[in-house]
Amino acid sequence: MDSKPILVVEDNPDHLELTLLALEQQGIANEITVARDGVEALDFLLGQGAHAGRDTRRQPVLVLLDIKLPRLSGLDVLKRMREDPRTELVPVVMLTSSGQEEDIAASYRTGANSFVRKPVDFTEFSEKLRQMQLYWLLVNEPMPGR
C-alpha cells in the first residue's frame, strides 16, 4: 500500500479521538498524522519548525482540516497551502462542525476540494469518513507525476 499519510488537523481532543477511532474502525492502512493547530499543520506540510528536515516531497494523500483552530485558522492554513507549490495540489477536505454558509463559500474560494459538516451522530460521522476515504483514496485518481 501507498504509505502516504492522512493529515488530520483537529484541536478538540474529543473530536480527534472520535475521528481517529472512526478511521481506525475503517481499517485504513495509511499512516495518520495529527496536527493540533494550524501552525503545527503548516510546519508538517512545509517541513519547518518541529518538522524541519522532513521530506516535503512526501505530502499527505488527504488533509482533513478543521476550520476553527488555535493560532492559525483552517482557512489560513489552506491559503498558505495553496500558495506553496509543494502543497498546492494536495486534496483538502474541510471537516468542521460549523455549517455557516460564509465558511463554506470561503473554503471553496480558498481552494478546498470538499467541505464536510461533522454530524453530531457518531455513526453517521463514521459513515461519512468511510465514504470520504473510499472516494479520495480509491475512487479518485490523484495528480500524476509524484
Partner 1 sequence: MQDSSPALMDESRRALSPDDSHPGPAAGLGLRGWAVVLVLLATLPLLFMAVLSARDAEKEAIRRAHAQLMDAASLAADTQLRIMESARDLLIVMTHSPQLTEPGWPRCAQYFAQLRDRFPDYSNLGVAAADGRVVCSVRQGAGVVNIGDREFFIEALRHGGFTVSPYVIGRLSGLPIITFGLPVKAGADDVVGVAFASYPVAVMGRNFDQLALSGDTEVMLLDGRGTILAGRTGKPLGVGEQPRSPTLVQALAGRRTGVVEGLDSIGQLRIYAIAPVRKPRLQDGPQAGDPVFFTVVSMSHETVLAPAHRTLRERILAVLLGMLAGVAIAWWLGSRAVVEPALRIARATRRIGQGEPVGALRMAPFAARELVTIARDVEDMARVLRGRQQDLERQVEERTAELSRQRARFQTLADQAPQIVWNTDADGHVVYVNRAWTDLVGGSAEQWMGDRWTQVIHPDDLEPTLARWRQARAARATFEDTRRFRSHDGQWHTMQCRAAPVLRADGTVDFWVGVDADVTRMERIQQALKRSNEELEAFSYSISHDLRTPLSAINGFAQLLGRQVPGDAGERVRHYAARIDAGVRQMAELIDDLLLLARISRAPIEFTQVDLGDIARHWLRAMAQTGRARPVKWRVDDGLLVRGDERLLRMLIENLLSNAWKFSTREAGVDIHVGCSQRQDDWIVIFVRDSGIGFDMAYADKLFGAFQQLQPARESAGSGVGLATVRRIVQRHGGTVWAEGVPGQGACFYLRLPAVTHGVAAPPATAGDSSVNDHPQELAQ
Near partner 1 by CB under 8 A: residue from 2, 122, 134, 140: 122
Going residue by residue from 33 to 62, which x/- string records binding to partner 1, judged by CB under 8 A?
------------------------------
Dist CA 27 CA 41 (whole Å) = 24
What Rg value do the Cα atoms of the chain yield, rounded? 14
Residue 3 DSSP label: -
- Give the closest residue to 37 by CA, choosing from 80, 5, 74, 92: 74
User: Of these, 120, 138, 139, 143, which contacts partner 1 (CB under 8 A)?
Assistant: 120
Q: Which grid cell sits at 48?
A: 519547518
For 21-58, the DSSP string reads HHHHHHT--S-EEEESSHHHHHHHHHT-GGGTT--TTS
Residue 105 interacting with partner 1 (CB under 8 A):
no
Stretch of 13-21, 31-39, 46-54, 133-141 lying at the interface with partner 1 (CB under 8 A) = 13-21
Name which position in 2, 83, 99, 108 contacts partner 1 (CB under 8 A).
99
For residue 145, the one-letter residue type is G
Q: In the bound complex, what is the minimum distance in angstroms from residue 107's beta carbon to partner 1?
A: 14
The contact set with partner 1 (CB under 8 A) reads 12, 14-15, 18, 21, 67-68, 96-101, 118-123, 125
